[in-house]
Amino acid sequence: MDYSKMIDHTILKPDASKAEVERLCREAIEYGFCSVCVNSSFVYYCAQLLKGSDVKVCTVVGFPLGAMSTEGKTAETLTAVNDGAQEIDMVVHIGMVKSREWEYVKQDIESVVEAAGGNAAVKVILETCLLTDEEKIRVCQIAKEAGAAFVKTSTGFSTGGATVHDVALMRKTVGPVMGVKASGGIRTLETAKKLTAAGADRLGTSSGVKIVKSQKAEEVKAERMKS
């Protein structure tokens, strides 16, 4: 398994500089990552830096709380796609999930999917650490009904990140066709292995370089042991 092709190379911290974002893009090209994931103000900049490469530009919408209006999420999505975003990671309205306002939750997701059109795949961030298993299942079902391409565990800015339990539950709920992205706290190859074994087919992490280097080192060691 080539982990590099599964990694969304991520920098979402509030003090990320242009120099750090540029380095992120250069590393993504060098290591063959699937995408870079940045805040929306950097989308156009990344799109220019990555032009001609296979690396996609991913951005976040309604991040990190998910509590902004649907209209706000829609506008942010339209701007991001216009700037060159190819993937949109939106945060579900967690308060509405807790209120069991399922129609609101569905319309919120559908509006972002519609705004993205056929130009960008939408990933729905559940923020699993704040939800019950019942709520996780329901949001996954709604995200699938609303036309999202992925469900995603976490923002990385709340009380917890991706767990094997949550990834397995999400995979079981959405089935084999829809994507499952694990994010939050993925810092080692061992963690990446556990989460992909549980059903994740995309990994959001700022430790992508470390993970890929660890995988290559492991492969070299295995080859030496054979010879």
Per-residue pLDDT of 81-139, as tens digits, reads 999 999 999 999 999 999 999 999 999 999 999 999 989 999 999 999 999 999 999 99
pLDDT tens digits along 52-70 = 999 999 999 999 999 999 9
pLDDT for residue 15: 98
Round the average pLDDT of the chain to a whole number and report it: 97
pTM as predicted? 0.96
Q: 221: pLDDT confidence band, cut at 50, 70 and 90?
A: confident
Range of the domain at 199: 4-225
Domain count, the chain: 1
Catalytic residues: 89, 152, 181
pLDDT tens digits along 130-156 = 999 999 999 999 999 999 999 999 999
Please say if the pLDDT value at position 227 is more than 80: no
pLDDT tens digits along 25-43 = 999 999 999 999 999 999 9
pLDDT tens digits along 151-170 = 999 999 999 999 999 999 99
pLDDT for residue 1: 85
Within 10 Å of residue 104's Cβ, how many Cβ atoms?
15
Q: What are phi and psi of 181, to 5 degrees?
A: -110, 125
Whole-angstrom distance, CA of residue 122 vs CA of residue 74: 12
Q: 225: pLDDT confidence band, cut at 50, 70 and 90?
A: confident
pLDDT for residue 61: 98
Q: What is the mean pLDDT of residues 206-226?
A: 91
Please say if the pLDDT value at position 226 is more than 90: no
